[in-house]
Chains A and B, each alone.
Chain A
Amino acid sequence: EPEVTQTPSHQVTQMGQEVILRCVPISNHLYFYWYRQILGQKVEFLVSFYNNEISEKSEIFDDQFSVERPDGSNFTLKIRSTKLEDSAMYFCASRGDFGGEQYFGPGTRLTVT
């Protein structure tokens, strides 16, 4: 069964450093998403991406964040200068078409020290 994959599973970085979280969505999917879950809190929407551009972003997704689909398979989330409060699980999701459900990857645990 096709699945969304994410790398790395755990990333530790120092405050102020740049990180790139990588995702490989399901191959024929059209819509791509990033969510995050701070420990003990709910899963929060960050951004959605369709047709090679951001279609919606939350207030969390400020200028420190960016997304890219550099080739036909990868979807990345970059945080330019990490803060302590960026520590969270980051989930990538993809969706095939209108009316389908979102499929989530296993997540990347980001720890900012």
Chain B
Amino acid sequence: DQQVKQNSPSLSVQEGRISILNCDYTNSMFDYFLWYKKYPAEGPTFLISISSIKDKNEDGRFTVFLNKSAKHLSLHIVPSQPGDSAVYFCAASEPLSFGNEKLTFGTGTRLTIIP
């Protein structure tokens, strides 16, 4: 039951270039999407999010694009820096009662920035 998929397990990008990480989903109930970054032996750290009513959200070097008709989102990092090397998880939020939510994660993409 893979409601959120990240088809690239790994990605290598030269420092200074653009990193593009992709994510696909199947559940139309998802109304909010997030990207988390994870270093070894640490918990996921929130990076950026986008509501399903938007198609783009930008925060500094990070931009998330949402194509709702294709059920696809992507994270762009530009310029890529060595400190960006980590595992990136796409997560989709399904609303529950009382303002609560449940996150469904993708399998992650290991990004390596080559100096």
A residues with a Cβ closer than 8 A to B are: 4, 6, 31, 33, 35, 41-45, 48, 50-51, 55-56, 91, 93, 95, 97-98, 101-107
Contact = CB atoms under 8 A, between A and B. Distances in A.
Specify which of A4, A35, A97 lies most central, judged by the most chain B CB atoms within 10 Å of its CB: A35
Interface of B: 34, 36, 41-46, 49, 89, 91, 96-108
Contacts of A45: 102-104
B105 A43 contact: yes
A42 B96 contact: no
Nearest to A6: B43
Contacts of B49: 101
A41 B36 CA distance: 15
Contacts of A106: 41-43
B43 A104 contact: yes
Nearest to A105: B43
A104 B45 CA distance: 7
B96 A43 contact: no
Contact of A55 (B44, B98, B108): B98
Nearest to A49: B100
B34 A101 contact: yes
B42 A51 contact: no
Specify which of A55, A97, A105 lies most central, judged by the most chain B CB atoms within 10 Å of its CB: A55
Contacts of B97: 55
Considering the complex of A and B, which 9 residue pairs feature the smallest CB-CB distances, nearest first?
A98-B99, A104-B43, A43-B105, A101-B46, A42-B107, A104-B44, A106-B43, A42-B105, A55-B100
